[in-house]
Structures are given as C-alpha cells and as structure tokens.
Structure 1
C-alpha cells in the first residue's frame, strides 16, 4: 500500500508555495494532498479543524497505509492544534519547516499595529511568544517529529531576534520538546521548502525517522 503526505502551507501563503515540495514527494512515490486554507480569516483552532480532517479523509479514500505531514511555518501550529484533539490511527511521521513552535519575537513586535492585524488576521497574532499564545498552550510533541529550520534571515530582519533566525522564527524557538531530530540549514524562512537539500531531508526523515548527517 502507498504512503501519503499532507502538506500544510504557512500564514498568508497558498498551496502554490508548497507545489515544488509536493512534486518532489510525488516523485518519491508518495500520494500527496497539498492542502490550502484561508490562513488570514480565522483563528488557528478553526483553521486546523477545517483543513486537516478533509485532507486525511482524501488520503484514506486512496487506501494509504500511513499518513505523514509536512508543514511550513504556521502550518506546523495548525497540525499541533489538530493532533492535540485527535491523532489519526495511521499517523506516520511529521516534518516541520521553520515552525514557530515557541512563538516568534517578530510577531511580538508587530501584532500591536493595526495594519499587521488587518493584513494577517486573527491567526497572525496567535503566534507570539507569550504563555497565552497558541504555540505555548499546545504542549510537547507526542508524535514522531523532525524539525528543519534556517539561519539566513532576509536583510534587516535579524535585529528582531536575540540569536540566529531565519528572519521570521528564531532557531531556538523553532524547537519543540519531544522532537526526534532537529537540523539547521542555510536557508531563509519564506523559500525553505523550495531548496532541494531541504526536500531530500524531508523524505529522508519520512523514511528513517532522522535527518541525514
């Protein structure tokens, strides 16, 4: 039986951002659902329950043996919100790309501005570092998780972070207790999913449960 992969894009993105990764996973033999969702319209909890169950159902109709997830940025927080409520019986492995698992200092700085709230919607301001923010309330990983993040911020964005970052999420805050593996690559936040090295590491983790060193 085939194995399946559900892809979840990040905030203010569409499924188009994940198409190169979707194509790569298909070439590796996976059944792929590249799920899109209106990331700026609803809170994280509503988005998670609206997009992930239909994607899981679509793969089950194809008779897949295991369902893996690969997420980018806020997509990882959606998945954590979903798995906090229910874990599919045939859940495989999870790879998160640049996830704000402990929130983002950039959000802390920007969510006080009306233009940010208007542009990024209710989910955007849920991604801060405070204890009441969504990432902090979701707890450690209770599933096989590998996290890939970058350390090449876009020009001018490094000043928002006390240490290395990819320009949107710090290396330290991408991590999550319970993760099986963690790897930092020379990538920025927005295009990390397009790098061939990242794509190869994603499928290596899906097969082996660890990244290639």
Structure 2
C-alpha cells in the first residue's frame, strides 16, 4: 500500500482579503479549496466602504497578526480587487516575520479606469467611500506612499471577460469589466496569468483557484494555463 504524502503546505496559512463592497463569503469556494490543499485559512471581513486603505490596514492587523503567530509555517495572502491594495499597504506596515507568497486576483495595481470616470459622482463617493477614491490611476502623493515597491513573491491573476457591457465601455482591452489587464501588473511580480473570466468571478473560477494554489505551493503558476 502506498503512503499518501502530506501536503507540503500543511503548516502554512492563508489570509483572504475580499474586494471593495464584497464580503468574506465571496471567498468561500477559494477558502474550501485552500483547506483541502492543506492550508489553514483566515477569511477576513473588513469595512471596505467606510475607511481609507491605511485605516483598514490597522483594522485587520490584530486578527492577521494573531493568525500568523498561531502558525508553525509561513503566512500567505490571497486577495481580490482592492483587497490586493490593502495587502500591499498592510505588508508595508506590518510585514509578518514568516511572510510567504501573495496572490492578487484582479487587483488594480495601476489603478482603475472605472474609478477615474466615476470618482467625482456623488453616488460613487457615497457608496464606495474613502477607499473608492484611492482606486484611481493617478494617485496623490499620500496614496502612493502607502504602496511602496514590493519585495515579496507575488503572483497576479487577471481576467479578460466582462459582464458589464455598458460601464466597461472605454476600458483598455483586454479587461475584466473593471480593471484592464495592463493595470493588474506590478513591477517586481514573480508571475502573471490571464484567464477567461470576469472581475467578480475571479474568486470563484476553478482555473483561478487552481492557479492560486499552484503559486502558493511552487512560487509560479502552472504551465497548464488557459491564456497568457
């Protein structure tokens, strides 16, 4: 009888950070897959529409630090959309001693052209709050200072399909309906992949989930990829 080898990531954990106006429930399918792969998980809810990124980073610190301290191995971060920017702010301020890898799904690292278009509308400002103003492509000095260059292993997954035929008009192609593929890229990233899905479904897409696990385990995406 052959012996089943334990998952290499058994002692590691993953923090999940959802996007703006979403909740931890959006990451439930990803969370279950990560647990099945042998990772401990911390799927955080945070007030994405009520505070700016720097305040949100402080809000999540106690929970994230407690989780990191409970692990025998590394703590990784998987984040969707604005959650990736929050991760960058957090890691610049409170980097865990045993930081592992980071996977960003549809994160507007170069800003969102949709935010550029809507930032001055009262309805947008009221709904998306202070952090929504920090999603623009032309960042002020204060916001730029919150997002210094990365020096940790980061894999980025972008989508190239849209379920927003009207609001995504004018976005540079290819895009996922909210963020252009070009603006998901980040200097210093370890790997980048584009898959056939839209912005809200990146967290639930089977290929995105499989590629996330591959990067956390190996530091690179699987060569069996849909689109690159």
TM-score normalised to the size of structure 2? 0.89
Query: Residues 96-124 of structure 1, C-alpha deviation per residue, up to 9 Å, x if partnerless?
Result: 00001010000000011000000111101
Gaps of 5+ in 1: none
Shift of the 159–134 alpha-carbon distance from structure 1 to 2, 3 Å rule, reads farther
Query: Residues 136-185 of structure 1, C-alpha deviation per residue, up to 9 Å, x if partnerless?
Result: 44132211000001000122243131221101111000000000000000
For this pair of structures, how many residues does the alignment match?
Answer: 212
TM-score normalised to the size of structure 1? 0.95
Query: Residues 39-97 of structure 1, C-alpha deviation per residue, up to 9 Å, x if partnerless?
Result: 11111110012114412312422x33100000000000001011122321100000000
Tell me which stretches of 4 or more aligned residues in structure 1 moved more than 3 Å. 133-137
| Residue number in structure 2 paired with 1:45 | 54
In the alignment, the residues of structure 2 paired with residue 134 and residue 23 of structure 1 have an alpha-carbon distance, to the nearest angstrom, of 37
Cα deviation for residue 133 of structure 1 reads: 7.0
| Residue number in structure 2 paired with 1:67 | 75
Gaps of 5+ in 2: 1-9, 224-228
Cα deviation for residue 134 of structure 1 reads: 6.9
| Residue number in structure 2 paired with 1:207 | 217
CA contact 1:148–1:184 (8 Å) conserved in 2: yes
In the alignment, the residues of structure 2 paired with residue 188 and residue 146 of structure 1 have an alpha-carbon distance, to the nearest angstrom, of 18
Name which of 95, 99, 117 aligns with 2:107: 99
Name which of 164, 169, 182 aligns with 1:172: 182
Find the structure with the greater CA-based Rg. 2
Output aligned runs, 1:113-152, within 5 Å: 113-132=121-140, 136-137=144-145, 138-152=147-161
Name which of 26, 35, 41 aligns with 2:35: 26
Partner of 1:211, secondary structure, is coil
In the alignment, the residues of structure 2 paired with residue 86 and residue 52 of structure 1 have an alpha-carbon distance, to the nearest angstrom, of 7
CA contact 1:101–1:135 (8 Å) conserved in 2: no
In the alignment, the residues of structure 2 paired with residue 64 and residue 134 of structure 1 have an alpha-carbon distance, to the nearest angstrom, of 36
Cα deviation for residue 193 of structure 1 reads: 0.9
Partner of 2:221, secondary structure, is coil
